[in-house]
Structure 1
């Protein structure tokens, strides 16, 4: 099933009325005099999947605050076969405060895995790899292909610059030859079991965390 932007419910699946906070204590007379706060949420309570620091804030206020401190890395995903992992990757990108997520290929993608986090995360579409590569070149941002292919360096010792794009392929086929050719470096995740690869969304979270371990300032 493919969803249009904004199609998800306000309360994501798995987030019930017992999650979050209720109405602001003390009623309207006690409401904070701060434009970041949403009066409807103050009245009804905030059951959204947001950190406590953003409770009762409007969505625009949350996005503005995130924009002031997003990290320098971008995330890009190829979307030729409607990979179901894309929503989860967007969710992780939001969790690790990625600058932007880039969808290469099909514009439509299943947003349910994002759990509404795509409302807080900037997402850009590129028609094909050539268009994406042209954007990265114009922005002066190196592209790192994340795939277990020849020449890939282990993620724990690879050169991962502060400003970069982490490029992920689809579950199964991995990155296309065109995407690999557009990258200036290749990174793989060291594995210790019998399978050749791990889930694409899990791989994305691992590499984003490694970037944050090196470059991020704890919140």
Structure 2
């Protein structure tokens, strides 16, 4: 994976390069193969969200289907009454003809295509949110350890750029105030005091 880092400095931003952003974020540019493999950043959460969307869609489709069936049944009874068709076998043959079968197959294929498109869109959209959230969680862990030189790394097409930019600005402020690692700075300070004491 090829990675570029872009930082926001006090004097100004460096010119943006291809695939990068100068919004104070650190971007990572990945190869297409890597993007396909990492489509599921948080599999359980993404699939759970997809199932929620799927459930709502199915309920809506079932309600529409129920209204369609009721309308079809009313129209069917009306046509049977107009032609005075009494034989049940003939009634069924009038309904289950080639036109009905063709339309039923088309509707089933369309529904299957809808499911494929639905889950593809859900996974791609959630990937753009869960990817940055994973990076933000790691960033927070590093900041808690005192590593103020840490920056959030996300891709240019990910979401939450404004939040990432603010977090990186916060890290820069902490780094200017306390250094990259306060613990190491504290140790260096004690070493300097020890050397001065030995020199005396």
TM-score by length of 1: 0.21
More strand by share: 1
User: Higher helix proportion, which one?
Assistant: 2
Rg larger for: 2
By relative contact order (CA 8 Å, sep 6+), the higher-ranking structure is 2
